[in-house]
């Protein structure tokens, strides 16, 4: 039984978030929590919240179907980061002209499933 969680419009660059997401892909949920806890990247907090949401969605989905799900049986089946829209800001440049600053956003998707 699959369950997924999506975190959208995160204020991190997708390239930096992919470094964190690559660490947990294919691992069991407990291993993924341990890896994210000791990762020194700021994006690890966002990925942790998304992973917790995916596990909660799996529990809720199992309850609705009348099944029991054990967190120890779950693993990260899919985890990927997509690019979101840029926040466009302006900053003063030479001779009073505006210089555009683009701040990237990212969408994180995590899918957990039961080991068969």
CA atoms within 13 A on the CB side of 82: 10
pLDDT of residue 20: 96
pLDDT of residue 115: 86
Edge to edge, what strands does the sheet with 74-83 contain?
Answer: 3-10, 106-114, 74-83
List strand residue ranges (DSSP E) for the chain, in order.
3-10, 74-83, 87-92, 98-103, 106-114
pLDDT of residue 85: 97
Q: Tokens for 70, please give them.
A: 């054990």
pLDDT of residue 91: 94
pLDDT of residue 75: 96
Question: Total domain count for the chain?
Answer: 1
Neighbours of 56 (CB within 10 A): 12
pLDDT of residue 40: 96
pLDDT of residue 102: 95
Do residues 102 and 86 touch, judged by C-beta distance below 8 A?
A: yes
pLDDT of residue 23: 96
Domain of 84 in residue numbering reads as: 3-114
The domain spanning residue 99 has which CATH number? 3.90.470.10
Ranges in the chain, pLDDT < 70: none
């Amino acid at each position: 039984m699959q369950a997924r969680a999506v975190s959208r419009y995160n204020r991190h660059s997708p390239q930096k978030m992919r470094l964190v997401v690559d660490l947990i892909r294919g691992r069991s949920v407990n291993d993924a929590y341990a890896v994210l806890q000791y990762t020194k990247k700021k994006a690890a907090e966002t990925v942790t919240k998304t992973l917790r949401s995916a596990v909660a969605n799996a529990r809720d989905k199992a309850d609705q179907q009348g099944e029991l799900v054990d967190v120890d049986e779950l693993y990260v089946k899919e985890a990927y980061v997509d690019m979101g829209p840029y926040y466009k800001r302006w900053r003063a440049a030479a001779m009073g002209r505006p210089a555009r600053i683009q701040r990237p956003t990212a969408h994180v998707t995590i899918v957990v499933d039961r080991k068969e």
